[in-house]
Homo-oligomer: A and B are copies of this chain.
Amino acid sequence: MKIVFKVWLDQDGKAFGDGPYELLKRVEKTNSLHQAAHQMGMAYSKAWGLIRVLEKRLGFPLLERKVGGLSGGGSHITPRTKEFMSNYERFREEVGISIEKIFQKHFGSVQRRKK
């Protein structure tokens, strides 16, 4: 037996969670929301709409967009987004460790019985 969980920030609806985190992580690597969305099998329009909704709920812009230019434009995460993502990473890791510990405390004996 194991424990499974989902966790997300809420501000009048889902404001951040694992999905958005993964999307932004890919934007960080590719500097492109187009590529990030494509890698996740997501339509660009859906990814763009998601970012807009999250920005509204979080209250700050997640991406800086450059249109055209020599490099052909692209999307970049901002320093504040980077800081927010780091916070989320630590939050997410601590939640995982904590839930596993509480699970073992209350259901460890069930697991042992099933071995």
Chain A interface (Cβ < 8 Å from any Cβ of B): 1-11, 14-15, 58-59, 84, 87-88, 90-91, 94-95, 98-99, 102-103, 105-107, 110, 113-114
Given contacts A98-B99, A106-B91, A107-B87, A114 and B4 within 8 Å (CB-CB): no
Residues of chain B within 8 A (CB-CB) of A1 are 9-11, 15, 58
Query: How many copies of this chain does one complex carry?
Result: 2
Residues of chain B within 8 A (CB-CB) of A99 are 7, 95, 98-99
Contact A4 B4 (CB under 8 A): no
Could you give 18 example pairs across A and B, Cβ below 8 Å? A1-B9, A1-B10, A1-B15, A3-B7, A3-B10, A4-B7, A4-B8, A5-B5, A5-B6, A5-B7, A91-B102, A91-B103, A91-B106, A94-B105, A95-B99, A98-B98, A98-B102, A99-B99
Q: How far apart sit A58 and B114, CA to CA, in the bound complex (Å)?
A: 9
Partner of A59, one of B7, B87, B114: B114
Partner of A90, one of B95, B106, B114: B106
Q: How far apart sit A90 and B98, CA to CA, in the bound complex (Å)?
A: 14
